Copies of this chain bind each other. A is one copy, B any other.
Amino acid sequence: MTIDCIFCRIIKGESPANFVYKDEDMVVFHNIKPSAPIHVLMVPIEHIESVNSLEESHGKVISKMMIKAKEVAQSLGIRDSGYKLILNVEKGGGQVIFHLHIHLIGGWEKR
């Protein structure tokens, strides 16, 4: 848990977010700067910096997030129409917030 992490603040309820899913291991909320008609962020409760920080001990949460993605997509109405999961790693890979997150984007067919 890092004091100045926006995702940790969102998880603690100190910053607002439009949540679509929450459980004891992860949260999912809408990106305030969407890059697709539907753009949510899947975020582990634990402050893991990036894919480069993933260790064996994170296996349970990262697999849970990957397996949960289809249910999140279903709840957003884009499971069958298709979506992408994207993880940006380090600044050169487009990572802006250094709390690991999976971008789930889709909904192009609806516009």
Contact = CB atoms under 8 A, between A and B. Distances in A.
Contacts of A54: 66-67, 69-70
Number of copies: 2
Interface residues on A, range: 35 or more
A76 interface: no
Given A51-B69, A63-B60, A69-B51, A108 B92 contact: yes
Interface in A52-75: 52, 54-56, 58-60, 62-64, 66-67, 69-70, 73
A80 interface: yes
A90 B80 contact: yes
Interface string A69-108: 1100100000111111111111111110000000000101
A109 interface: yes
A63 B64 CA distance: 9
A56 B82 CA distance: 21
B82 A92 contact: yes
Contacts of A63: 58-60, 62-63, 66
